[in-house]
Structure 1
Amino acid sequence: MKTIKIYYIALVLAVSTVFGFAQKQPNIVLLFADDISARELPVYGSTVWSLPKGGELKGGNTSDTQYKAQTPVLDKLANEGCYIKTAWAATVCGPSRAMMMTGRYAHLHKWWHNKDKGKAPNGKGHWDLYDSSPHSIAHVAKAGGYATFWAGKTQMNIEGFDFDEGCFTPGEGSYNKAIHTTDFRLETRKETGKKKIFNADTGKALTQKSYVQSGWYWKPHVQLMNHPDTSERLVWWPNTKASKKKFGLNTFGPDVELEYIFEFMERKQKENQPFFVYHTSHLGHDAFDFLHPESGNKWPGTPKINWDGKKYTRTNPKVTGDNGVYNTYGTITEDGIHTHVNYLDYQIWQYMNKFKELGIENNSIFIFCADNGTSGYGKSSPISQTGTHVPLIIYAPGMNLTKKGAQNVLANISDLVPTIADLGGVTIPESYEVNGESLVPFLTTDKPKHREWIYGYHKETTLIRGDLVMKDGNNVWYDVSKEPADLISFPKIKDWTKVSEAHRKERDELQDIVPRFDYHATAHDAPIDGYGKVMPLVRNN
């Protein structure tokens, strides 16, 4: 116990010194991108990335540099800050976002897959995350004294999360016909007694495979939460004469999100209150291309941008037309996930400029990660780490991190909740199980490793990895002691006598860990009485 206490005191001192708690806790922006494998970011060094049509074309992979993303800003942040070479999420968005929001695995929050969620204690509907896990990322940030803002994709009931404000694209139920702001919407209708999906913009039934959705890119559905200019908690945007005048075919949803994020940051800086921004961008996620409805495009284009070596310039989009026939006048990029990654880089450049403008660049932390692997390549795949391997970049200029550049360690997105707790000086009760581990000790001391193992889940299957071996969701074991050029082609272990004793030892250790979380068959749903009373969060200063 004496050793543990000494280490804890050293950690507290390190955090206080490095992150400047003597003045105030650092601002935090967490950009959680959608469906982007680590391999799509050039800094990760993969020799392959995804084609514009993804898995719909044979293989779905390419080494053609015209489809390789260009990310000068993310490259700079990763090298001047640090990036984790092996960070894991769950294999698909819902469970992964549940992991991010709660810092816990599915054995606790019961979100096993998008369409496989445990029932609530009353047996009606699935268990909301804020009920299963009351110490969510929002509650932890608020306990740390942060003003909180949630922007972008929701994909869950937002009512019980303690965010102060939000800008959602789209908000809950935005594909409902009652939402008047835009007709860029796919909806289900009956035709000759059968349900079909229709494009509300053209009135035509779809000929290609898709699903009910709203337009979250062009001419988007946007919903504001608790904005100070309105008395309503939730209001559909555009909601003012000025916003209605500028809204239309040229409006790009990710731009609207950022506009409201920056407005929030400006207000909080004037109020001298630190902020936490949870930016769950849609960028990276495939979508129906309403501007080219017959194209079958997987990733609709973005506004064109250009990097001149020092700064970005953006071409103002020009779009005209109606009813599915549009002219973009060369102002919008071709389709492809690389264009989405490029636009994220442009938006991160805007973030960095905003930090400087507000004079907070040396007291702000920027974290970039994603929820699961790329659609058509790894999304919803339990094979190897195609579904779980995501980027994780941490940038904190002026804060003297002890780690720079590539970090050949293991991390999990469940680690972000306890990390934010540490940054905000918040203590999560010991009686409350959190599966993540704070990154602060690794980032601010000479600690050589962050975690011994990482874990993921996919419906009833489990995935786990150490430094030497990995088990995927199909119970296939791999030797991961060396990183392949494509970040994924690890050799399968078919004969355990042909690997080292250390490999076998780690396998046995990982096999002992899995039963702690493998409750899909035996405890799929919420316990009848929930988890009872939860001790409150405590701020340490």
Structure 2
Amino acid sequence: MTLGCTVPAESDIPPETMRNPVQIMLLAALSLGGVSAAAQPSRPNVILIFADDISARELPVYGSSVWTDPWSKDSSDPRFRARTPALDRLAEEGCWITNAWASTVCSPSRAMMMTGRYAHLHKWWDNKDKGNYRNTDGRLTTWPLYESSPLQLGHVAQRAGYATYWAGKTQMAGDLTRFGFDEGCFTPGNLSDRDNPYTDFKMEMKPVNGKKVLVNSDTGEPLDTYLQHGWYWNPHVRLMNQPGSPKFCWWPNTEESREQFGLNTYGPDVELDFVFEFMERQQDAGKPFFIYHTSHLGHDAFDWFNPDSDSKWPGTPVIEWKDGRYFRTEPHVTGDKGDYDTHGTVTGPGVHNHINYLDYQVWQYRKKLAELGIADNTVLIFCADNGTSGYGKHNADRQKGTHVPLIMYAPGMTKHGRQDVLVNMSDFLPTLAELAGTPIPEDYEINGESLVPFLFSEKSEHRDWIYGYQGNKQIIRGRHVLRDGFGKWWDVSTSPENLISFPRIDDWTAVSDAHRKERDALKAILPRFDLHASAPDAPGVPARKTQPVLPKQNASRNG
């Protein structure tokens, strides 16, 4: 396996390749009442790309007049606008959702995505506010999602006979082999990576003048940042159940890959190489697959090549969109111990460059599907876990933290382009179950609603309301009104140019009867999920004497 992902040389994906759906009737047992059976791909492969810390406003298709610059400030400067031709095409041939919601920060959002449940069930309220349980040794520790919610995305796919792969960021407590994934390629960059023998892009606490100080292992210099290791350049990569290797092992794991590994190695490229190799094996075996690609791209990180950088987002390999295809410049980085030269092969900093690289990877995915001849039987989904760092992440104001991009393509779908509907990240578990033909037990509570009836029929709406949370803060909206985490109400019946400057509702007599009725309906829903104070932990765990201190608004966290 080489480090650079290989794709066919054709200039673009033939449109007819992506528009040749395999038609079948939905299983009657899985159809929603009143919705006619619809055409969908037969046992489709499913690829779910879950990007990190990217607000909907950052993608051009959302049309926001404001986005984020490399220094985490609001900007309308076109130099810092992402360019996403592949995602734009995916949104046109498939559809994009105007109002998709996650939670406000990584861990609870990933819990919502993976379990199809809200925090009142899985108890992951915030990054540093996760419910406890007593393990088999009697020790009080974080309640793993496979204990609180034993039916997750990976399990659903496995029950349907799918091969499953997890690539990228994990951020999960417990045993990674118990989440329903056959194999994995992880670039966690977390603190368990100290033993990685292949990279010195690490941080460690060391005594300096009698005090513990965070130190850059590459330079030996003290740092003013949060404790992390590298997941982009010269990355930490751990494989799970890779054929011919131990259950868990560090990559590079072969003589050839060890020779190639180094400063020019980019973590997101490695993830995609292993994903594609997995797809090829499943195609040869005639087995459908589910890919859960939790990319780090979008997440802030220490810039090992530029230790003094004041931007949150290190550069990516240089790419160029030309004549309907991407061209990538092979990285060439030299130097050591904090003094590096990228020789013009790495972009400047900024979240827009991370989004550009995600667009390049979406293009690679579609090229690979066309090459394997399975584009007409593969569902491709792109979304993100919470708002952009410095703007939406950890922010319960209006929908800054919860509003994320969502673009979906499925052969045979009836919806194309902009769709003004409401979607929660919890909706993907029942969606996957219905696509794969795996019923969810009636006595197993989930909070998501399958998107299949909306995507494959003439159904014009999906949900009446969507929900998010941050610790004890609850956020909910319908089509007319939104209640944010601070108890403020907003009129969301129209969308402002910057996607966030909604009129605040202080006088309820000044709005329509529909606004008031929806407010009352939303207020009636919230108590069901408002268990942070009364039941923050697993059943049977004594109530906490004090609640966790939550992070300050917009604080940077390894989440």
Q: Same fold (TM over 0.5)?
A: yes
User: Partner of 1:419 in structure 2?
Assistant: 431
Distance 1:137 1:190 in 2: 43
Q: 1:40 aligns with which of 58, 62, 81?
A: 58
Task: Tell me the equivalent position of 2:106.
Answer: 93
Amino acid in the other structure paired with 2:41 = F
1:511 Cα deviation after fit: 0.1
TM-score between both structures, scaled by the size of structure 1: 0.92
For 1:222 and 1:426, locate their aligned partners in 2 and report how far apart those are by CA, in whole Å: 33
Rounded to whole Å, the distance in 2 between the matches of 1:389 and 1:116 is: 21
What residue is the counterpart of 2:7 in the other structure?
none
Stretches of 4+ moved more than 4 A in 1?
A: 4-7, 9-12
Quote the Cα distance in structure 1 between the aligned partners of 2:415 and 2:520.
31
* 1:80 pairs with one of 75, 89, 93: 93
1:449 to 457, 461, 481: 461
Give matches, 1:271-350, under 5 Å.
271-350=285-364
Is 1:115 aligned with 2:128? yes
Q: Paired residue for 2:236?
A: 221
> Retained in 1: the 8 A contact 2:132–2:541?
no
Match of 1:179 among 189, 196, 204: 196
Match of 1:195 among 195, 212, 227: 212
Residue 408 in structure 1 maps to residue 420 in structure 2:
yes
Query: Residue 134 of structure 2 contacts residue 141 of structure 2 at CA under 8 Å; is this kept in 1?
Result: no
Match of 1:154 in 2: 170
For structure 2, list consecutive stretches of 5 or more residues without a partner in the other structure.
Answer: 1-27, 543-559
Q: Is the 8 A contact 2:115 2:152 kept in 1?
A: yes
Q: CA deviation at 1:528?
A: 2.0
| Deviation (angstroms), 1:529 | 8.6
Q: Which residue of 1 aligns with 2:516?
A: 504
Distance 2:30 2:408 in 1: 27
Contact persistence 1:174–1:214 (CA under 8 A):
no
Aligned residue-pair number? 510
Whether the 8 Å contact between 1:175 and 1:212 is mirrored in structure 2 is no
1:124 pairs with 115, 119, 140, which one? Answer: 140
CA contact (8 A) 1:174 1:221 kept: no
What stretches of structure 1 of length at least 5 have no aligned partner?
A: 55-59, 531-541
Percent of matched pairs sharing the same residue: 59
Q: Hey, what's the Cα distance between the residues in 1 that align with 2:442 and 2:450?
A: 14
Measured in 1, the distance between the counterparts of 2:117 and 2:177 equals 20
Corresponding letter in the other structure for 1:38: A
Query: Are 1:61 and 2:74 matched, yes or no?
Result: yes
- Residue 390 (structure 2) aligns with: 376
**How many Å apart are 1:91 and its aligned residue?**
0.3
Distance 1:529 1:228 in 2: 40
Other structure's SS at 2:475 match: strand
Aligned to 1:525, the other structure's residue is in SS state coil
Q: Indicate the SS of the match to 1:518.
A: coil
The change in CA–CA distance for 1:283 and 1:360 in structure 2 (over 3 A counts) is same
Check conservation: 1:121, 1:527, Cα contact below 8 A: no
Q: What residue is the counterpart of 1:19 in the other structure?
A: 41
Cα distance in 2 between the residues matched to 1:354 and 1:413:
26
Instruction: Name the CA distance, whole Å, in 1 between partners of 2:405 and 2:119.
Output: 21
CA drift of 1:172 comes to: 5.9
Q: Name 1:164's counterpart in structure 2.
A: 182
CA RMSD of aligned residues (A): 1.6
Q: Verify the 8 A CA contact 2:44 2:435 in the aligned structure 1.
A: yes
Q: Taking structure 1 as reference, are residues 190 and 12 closer, same or farther at Cα in structure 2, changes over 3 Å only?
A: farther
Deviation for aligned residue 1:190? 2.3
Q: Distance in 2 between matches of 1:400 and 1:156?
A: 35
Post-superposition offset of 1:6 = 11
Deviation, 1:418, is 0.5
Q: Counterpart of 2:230 in structure 1: which amino acid?
A: G
Distance 1:124 1:159, change over 3 A: farther
Q: Could you report, residue by residue, the CA deviation over 1:56-76 in whole angstroms, capped at 9, with x for unpaired residues?
A: xxxx11111000000000000
- TM-score with structure 2 setting the length: 0.89
Residues 322 and 7 from structure 1, CA distance in 2 versus in 1: closer, same or farther, beyond 3 angstroms? closer
Task: Name 1:534's counterpart in structure 2.
Answer: none
Shift in Å, 1:13: 3.5
Q: Deviations over 1:211-258 (max 9, x none)?
A: 11111000000001101121x100000111000000000000000000
Distance in 2, matches of 1:478 and 1:500, equals: 13
Partners of 2:103 and 2:208 in 1: how far apart? 38
> Match for residue 474 of structure 1?
486
Answer yes or no: is 1:436 the counterpart of 2:448: yes
- Are the equivalent residues in 1 in contact too, given 2:104–2:394 (CA < 8 A)? yes
Equivalent position of 1:535 in the other structure? none
**Residue among 218, 221, 240 paired with 1:204:** 221
In the alignment, the residues of structure 1 paired with residue 102 and residue 169 of structure 2 have an alpha-carbon distance, to the nearest angstrom, of 17
Superposed CA offset, 1:489-526 (max 9, x none) = 10100111100111001000000000010100011110
Does structure 1 retain, via aligned residues, the 8 Å contact 2:314–2:349? Answer: yes
Does structure 1 residue 136 correspond to structure 2 residue 148? no
Q: Is the 8 A contact 2:41 2:378 kept in 1?
A: no
Aligned to 2:12: none
1:451-500 alpha-carbon deviations (Å, 9 max, x no partner): 00000001101000000000000001000000000111101001111001
Kindly provide the CA deviation profile for residues 186-221 of structure 1, in whole angstroms up to 9, marking residues without a partner as x. Answer: 222222332211100001111x3x111111000000
Q: Is the 8 A contact 1:478 1:490 kept in 2?
A: yes
Give the secondary structure class of the aligned counterpart of 2:142: coil
CA distance in 2, matches of 1:193, 1:106: 42
Kindly state the Cα deviation for residue 171 of structure 1 after the two structures are TM-superposed.
Answer: 6.5
Q: C-alpha separation between the residues in 1 aligned to 2:347 and 2:160?
A: 41
CA distance in 1, matches of 2:191, 2:129: 20
Work out the CA distance in 2 between the residues paired with 1:63 and 1:528: 51
Task: Report the AA paired with residue 212 of structure 1.
Answer: L
1:49 alignment partner in structure 2: 67
SS of the counterpart of 2:103? coil
Amino acid at match of 1:293: P
Q: Distance between the aligned counterparts of 1:432 and 1:10, measured in 2?
A: 23
Q: Counterpart of 2:538 in 1: which secondary structure?
A: coil
